[in-house]
């Protein structure tokens, strides 16, 4: 079992303890193989410390920007928990490329253009880890919070970005999902988060 990001704010408590862990346990998930933190923004990491402490992932992946440049306290607590519980912390660019896991092909596509694992000239959103996950002929492209600059780098990287389902970058905001990316992906379905109407 893998978890990509670990949620943001919940109403007055720990999103990991209150929402993520109970939801995963209802699905029968009691341990994680890998927790991927696409980037260190609070709305992606607030639940991570509780998830690491409770579901004991074998590995935690990130791009290293939060460790190098500073990030929300939850990000640092998640790293501390990972070390304490014996998880292996792996980062871009070492995780870039293809991983075959139980019949599933996971490709780390971004940020793989910079030797330190992220581009210091870019904001955290544009350094989000982008993943292509393929299983039984269906492909999902997860773009974290990539915005225009990050999407341009992803498209210019030359990888096959076609996907059945696209998780829209930056929660589906107008700063993401550029024409070039959509033409490269050609998704049948696109998913974005939305607040209450």
**Mind listing the pLDDT tens digit for each residue in 38-58?**
999 999 999 999 999 999 999
Distance of alpha carbon 89 from alpha carbon 167, whole angstroms: 25
Rounded to 5 degrees, what are φ and ψ at 120?
-60, -20
The model scores a pTM over 0.75: yes
Distance of alpha carbon 45 from alpha carbon 82, whole angstroms: 13
The closest of 100, 96, 105, 37 to 72, measured between CA atoms, is 37
- Contact yes or no for 159/135 (Cβ under 8 A): no
CA distances to 65, 130, 133 from 124, in Å: 7, 13, 22
Q: Any idea which residue has 């346990």 for tokens?
A: 25
Distance of alpha carbon 174 from alpha carbon 176, whole angstroms: 5
Looking at residue 172, what is its pLDDT? Answer: 84
Looking at residue 10, what is its pLDDT? Answer: 67
Q: What is the mean pLDDT of the chain?
A: 94
Looking at residue 173, what is its pLDDT? Answer: 86
Other Cβ atoms within 10 Å of 63 Cβ, number: 30
Is residue 31 very low, low, confident or very high in pLDDT (cuts 50, 70, 90)? very high
Looking at residue 119, what is its pLDDT? Answer: 96
**Mind listing the pLDDT tens digit for each residue in 155-192?**
999 999 999 999 999 888 889 999 999 999 999 999 98
Is residue 195 very low, low, confident or very high in pLDDT (cuts 50, 70, 90)? low
Rounded to 5 degrees, what are φ and ψ at 28?
90, 10
Mean pLDDT (whole number) for 1-12? 86
- Give the DSSP per-residue string, the chain: -EEE------SSS-HIIIIIHHHHHHTT--S-SEEE-SS--HHHHTTHHHHHHHH--SEEEE-SHHHHH---HHHHHHHHHHHHHTPEEEETTTT-EEEEETTEEEEEEET-SSTTSS-TTS-GGGG--EEEEEETTEEEEE-TT--HHHHHHHHHTT-----SEEE-GGGG-TTS--HHHHHHH--SEEE------
In the predicted structure, residue 197 carries a pLDDT above the cut 60: no
Q: Report the DSSP beta bridge partners of residue 190.
A: 166
Looking at residue 196, what is its pLDDT? Answer: 60
Looking at residue 7, what is its pLDDT? Answer: 86
In degrees, rounded to 5, the angle at the alpha carbon of residue 135 between the alpha carbons of residues 134 and 141 is 30
């Amino acid at each position: 079992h893998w978890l990509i990001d670990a949620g943001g704010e919940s109403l007055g408590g720990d999103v990991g303890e209150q929402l993520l862990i109970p939801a995963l346990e209802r699905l029968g998930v009691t341990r994680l193989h890998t927790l991927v933190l696409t980037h260190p923004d609070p709305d992606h990491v607030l639940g991570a410390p509780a998830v690491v402490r409770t579901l004991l992932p074998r590995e935690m992946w990130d791009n290293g920007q939060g460790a190098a440049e500073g990030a929300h306290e939850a990000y640092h607590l998640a790293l501390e928990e990972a070390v304490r519980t014996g998880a292996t912390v792996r980062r871009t660019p070492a995780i870039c490329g293809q991983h075959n896991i139980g019949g599933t092909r996971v490709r780390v596509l971004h940020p793989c253009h910079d030797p330190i694992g992220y581009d210091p000239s870019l904001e955290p959103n544009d350094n989000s880890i982008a993943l292509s996950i393929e299983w039984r002929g269906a492909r999902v492209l997860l773009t974290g919070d990539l915005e225009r600059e990050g999407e341009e780098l992803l498209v210019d990287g030359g990888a096959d970005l076609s996907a059945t389902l696209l998780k829209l970058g930056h929660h589906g905001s107008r700063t993401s999902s550029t024409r070039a990316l959509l033409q490269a992906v050609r998704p049948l379905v696109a998913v974005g988060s939305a607040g209450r109407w």
